[in-house]
Structure formats: structure tokens, C-alpha cells
């Protein structure tokens, strides 16, 4: 197990390195000058020759490998960045300085992690709380009217684009019906400072994520349970006279959870990397909302930092999923 984890961590570092190189090169050889957004903010008239000065201060006149080496060095020991003739100290791990706020990207990223983490935890909890039990119940009643109605209705919900589903959820529950619990949305304070404000601001976002995600987890769980309950060891357990509840939940569900865990690991990693539509619609200033602002404002250091952060989160979540495999299914061995 230890050797496997070490190998995966090494491969994860290589993947993050390749991702950072790819993003760096995209900015370097992009269709527009990376200094253009700075020039537009610093000057009220046309940039003219000033854009060349800004490109020089940013290092875009130097060889690309030298600038990438400076970026990597800054991640470990920090560096001093020059933007529009102003110097900014960026401590390790230095992910750059925002062109828009002139603040270190690392500090802004860390300040938005609690909001995104809160959204991810609540949404993922509802995924599993409703998706798995409903899927198990549907599998046990396979072919019944209730099973067909459930699968059809959930398939219909899944066919709606998520951004439209979340927007309709907000419009109906907040604007049309004016339900008091959903009147204020957003991340107002950490749970340690104001539990009710934290809960009430995020509850509608959790409902939208939970209902939409619950549909696919119900279908995944149902399919996996139907397959697991048809295995030979399940028939053997029935022949031995084991109670139906033990067969379903102790033997069948444990095997059925393996493919569900795969999907959940990727989904939860994606939620932690930032839920753009959820945060934008429900006014939660997390990583997804921040990255959307960065793309719209051509804030390249922020875009680069959020992309690298997303890669790290997805790599860690996949590693954890592989480890959980061996716990859920004894037939899986990590080597």
C-alpha cells in the first residue's frame, strides 16, 4: 500500500507539472498579449507603445523556459514580481499576483476555499444521503411501477442542463414563492462565526446540487445493485438462509458501492475545484465565482492558479478513491 501511494504521488506531481507547463505555454503563445489587460487598466487611452514596456516588465521578452523556471522557483521560495513598473513581494508558494486586485493569488485563493468547501460538503452529502438509498430501493423492486416511474422522472431531471435547473430553483423558491428560508443566498460567514447565517445562505445551493446530483447517483446505485444482486455469491447467501436485509446491505451494497465511489470521487473533486454555475447563480464568492471573474477580466495569474489548484484536487481525490477501493472490495489489491 505504501509503495503504491508513493508511486501515485510521484505520478501526480508529474501531472501537475505538465498541467502548469501547458497553462504557462497557452498564456505565453496565446492570441493576445498577456500584458494587454494590465495596459487597459493602467491607461485610459490606447496603450500604444506602453504595452511593450509592460511585456518587458512581465518578462515576456525573455525565453519561455527561463520564465517558467522563475515561476517554479517562486512556488518553492517566493519571488518579487514587477507589474506596470511596481514591485510586489510574493511569498512561497507564489502563484502570482492578480492583475486586477494587485494581491497575491495564494492569499485570495485561500480566502475563497472555505466558501467552495462548504458548498461541496453540503452538495455531496445530499448526493449520497438520497441517491444511494433510493437507488437500493429501486433495485430491490426492479421492474415494478414505482421503479419505472422513479427512473423515468430522474432521467428527465438529468436531461436538463444544470445551470438552467439551478436558475429555475432559485427563481421559483426565492422569487416566485418567496420562501423565507431561501430569501438570502450567499456565503456570509464561516460556520464557526455564524452557524445560522452559514446554513441559510448555502441551503438553496445545496438543494439545487443535491436534487440534480441525486438523480445520477440513484441511477448509478440502482444499476450497480442490480448487477451485484445477480452474482453467484448472492445466490449462495440466499441458499444458506441469510436474512434478506443482510444480503442486500452487507454483501450486495458493499460491492455496488465500488463504481459509485469512482463517480463520487471525481464529482467531489470537481466540486472542491469550484462550482462555477452554483456560485454564480447563488452569489457565493468561492473559487468557481472567482475563476469566472478572472476569465472575464483576463486576469491570467488567477486563471493559471485555479487551473493548477483544480488539477491538484482531482489528483488527490482519485488517489483516495483507489485506496477506498481496496476497503470496499477485498478482490481489489493495490500494487
**What is the per-residue pLDDT across 130-155, written as a single tens digit (0 to 9) for each?**
999 999 988 888 888 888 888 888 88
Of the segments 28-42, 173-187, 261-275, 276-290, which one has the largest average pLDDT value?
276-290
Residue with cell 455469491: 233
- Give residue 118's pLDDT: 92
Distance CA 123, CA 129 (A): 10
Distance CA 128, CA 117 (A): 17
Res. 109 pLDDT band, cuts 50 70 90: very high
The DSSP H or E segment spanning 87 is strand 86-90
The DSSP H or E segment spanning 80 is strand 79-83
- Give residue 334's pLDDT: 61
Distance CA 212, CA 215 (A): 6
**b/e for 221-259, b at 16 or more Cβ within 10 A?**
bbbbbbebbeeeebeebeeeeeeeeebbeebbbebbbbe
Q: Is the pLDDT of residue 271 over 80?
A: yes
Distance CA 249, CA 135 (A): 12
| DSSP states along 206-250 | HHHHHHHHHHHHHHHHHHHHHHHTTSHHHHHHHHTT--HHHIIII
Percentage of residues in the chain with pLDDT exceeding 90? Answer: 11
Q: Is the pLDDT of residue 90 over 70?
A: yes
- Give residue 264's pLDDT: 87
More confident residue, 5 or 13: 13
Average pLDDT (122-136) is 90
Of the segments 1-5, 123-127, 177-181, 241-245, which one has the largest average pLDDT value?
123-127
- Give residue 192's pLDDT: 83
Lowest mean pLDDT among 74-83, 178-187, 211-220, 296-305: 178-187
- Give residue 330's pLDDT: 63
Four-residue CA torsion sign, 331, 5, 14, 307: positive
- Give residue 200's pLDDT: 86
Strand partners, 82: 87
Q: Is the pLDDT of residue 52 over 60?
A: yes
- Give residue 120's pLDDT: 92
- Give residue 335's pLDDT: 58
- Give residue 125's pLDDT: 92
- Give residue 153's pLDDT: 87
- Give residue 3's pLDDT: 79
More confident residue, 207 or 8: 207
Identify the CA nearest to 328 among candidates 266, 268, 260: 260
Lowest mean pLDDT among 25-34, 38-47, 111-120, 163-172: 38-47
Average pLDDT (256-266) is 84
- Give residue 122's pLDDT: 92
Res. 48 pLDDT band, cuts 50 70 90: low
- Give residue 119's pLDDT: 92
Four-residue CA torsion sign, 248, 254, 259, 263: positive
Res. 333 pLDDT band, cuts 50 70 90: low
Res. 100 pLDDT band, cuts 50 70 90: confident
Res. 287 pLDDT band, cuts 50 70 90: very high
Amino acid at each position: 500500500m505504501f509503495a503504491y501511494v508513493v508511486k501515485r504521488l510521484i505520478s501526480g506531481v508529474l501531472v501537475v507539472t505538465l498541467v502548469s507547463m501547458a497553462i504557462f505555454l497557452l498564456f505565453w503563445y496565446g492570441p493576445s498579449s498577456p500584458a494587454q489587460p494590465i495596459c487597459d487598466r493602467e491607461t485610459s487611452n490606447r496603450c500604444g507603445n506602453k504595452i511593450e514596456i509592460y511585456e518587458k516588465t512581465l518578462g515576456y521578452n525573455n525565453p519561455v523556459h527561463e520564465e517558467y523556471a522563475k515561476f517554479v522557483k517562486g512556488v518553492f521560495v517566493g519571488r518579487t514580481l514587477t507589474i506596470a513598473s511596481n514591485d510586489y513581494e510574493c511569498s512561497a508558494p507564489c502563484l502570482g499576483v492578480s492583475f486586477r486586485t494587485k494581491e497575491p493569488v495564494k492569499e485570495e485563493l485561500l480566502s475563497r476555499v472555505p466558501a467552495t468547501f462548504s458548498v461541496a460538503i453540503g452538495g455531496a452529502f445530499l448526493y449520497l444521503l438520497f441517491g444511494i438509498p433510493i437507488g437500493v430501493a429501486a433495485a430491490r423492486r426492479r421492474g415494478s411501477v414505482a421503479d419505472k416511474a422513479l427512473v423515468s422522472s430522474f432521467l428527465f431531471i438529468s436531461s436538463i442542463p444544470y445551470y438552467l435547473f439551478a436558475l429555475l430553483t432559485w427563481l421559483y423558491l426565492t422569487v416566485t414563492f418567496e420562501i423565507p428560508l431561501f430569501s438570502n443566498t450567499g456565503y456570509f460567514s464561516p460556520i464557526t462565526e455564524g452557524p445560522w447565517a452559514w446554513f441559510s445562505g448555502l441551503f438553496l445551493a445545496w438543494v439545487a446540487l443535491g436534487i440534480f446530483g441525486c438523480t445520477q447517483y440513484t441511477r448509478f446505485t440502482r444499476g450497480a445493485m442490480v448487477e451485484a444482486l445477480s452474482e453467484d455469491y448472492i445466490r449462495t447467501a440466499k441458499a444458506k438462509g441469510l436474512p434478506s436485509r443482510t444480503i442486500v446491505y452487507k454483501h450486495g451494497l458493499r460491492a455496488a458501492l465500488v463504481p459509485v465511489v469512482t463517480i463520487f470521487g471525481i464529482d467531489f473533486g470537481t466540486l472542491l475545484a469550484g462550482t462555477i454555475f452554483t456560485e454564480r447563480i447563488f452569489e457565493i464568492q468561492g473559487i468557481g465565482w472567482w475563476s469566472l471573474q478572472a476569465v472575464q477580466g483576463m486576469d491570467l495569474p488567477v486563471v493559471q492558479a485555479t487551473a493548477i489548484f483544480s488539477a491538484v484536487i482531482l489528483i488527490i481525490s482519485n488517489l483516495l478513491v483507489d485506496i477506498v477501493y481496496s476497503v470496499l472490495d477485498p478482490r481489489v489489491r493495490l500494487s
